[in-house]
Amino acid sequence: MKNIKRLKIKNSSGFTLVELLAVIVVLAIVMGLAAVGISNVLDGTRKSAFAADAKTYIQGARSLVNSDQANALLGGTTTYSPSCVTGGTNYIPLELIPLEQGGKSPYGQDYLKGTLTAVQTGLTDIGNNSYVKVEATVTAGDCKIEYSIKLTDGVKTIAETKEAEVEASKVQ
């Protein structure tokens, strides 16, 4: 019996409480960073959708103005198009712009229509309306029409912005 060595068995299975707590803390930190990253991606996506809605409203207003101009060429009257003889500015409220679907922002709110309910000219106080501004400039007999939009849902807003400048970074 003297020749038999005692075997020491080391219990190496499992984790210590400190190791488990360290893993849990690291996982919590990673999850917190992921949540912030996902939140930023979602907000960026909503802003892009908001800007896309603004461009859709401008396209709808452009269709109204183009049909108006065609009507004028045929001797009819115009409602949406500012004069290409004298120039001018018209404000088209959103509810007059025909869209197949929509009306709600990516933030779940209806776009604010305010008190502007018909095409208006020469306004100085537009208030909290969402609208498409159509401006005709006449130089040397050439008529140039430019479009701008103000879009708000009560949560987010694109301040009056020219069509070419509408983008997600303009959503405030």
pLDDT digits (tens, 9 = 90+) for 41-88: 999 999 999 999 999 999 999 999 999 888 888 888 888 999 888 889
Q: Read off the pLDDT of residues 47-58 as tens digits, 9 standing for 90 and up.
A: 999 999 999 999
H or E element in which residue 90 lies: strand 88-93
List CB contacts of 80: < 8 A, sequence separation 6 or more: 61, 64, 65, 68, 90, 92, 96, 119, 134
On whether the pTM is more than 0.85, the answer is: no
The residue with tokens 């949560």 is 155
Compute the distance between CA of residue 60 and CA of residue 94 in angstroms, rounded to an integer: 9
| Phi and psi, residue 78, nearest 5° | -115, 150
Q: Read off the pLDDT of residues 110-169 as tens digits, 9 standing for 90 and up.
A: 988 767 778 888 776 677 788 999 999 998 889 999 999 999 998 999 999 999 999 999
H or E element in which residue 71 lies: helix 17-73
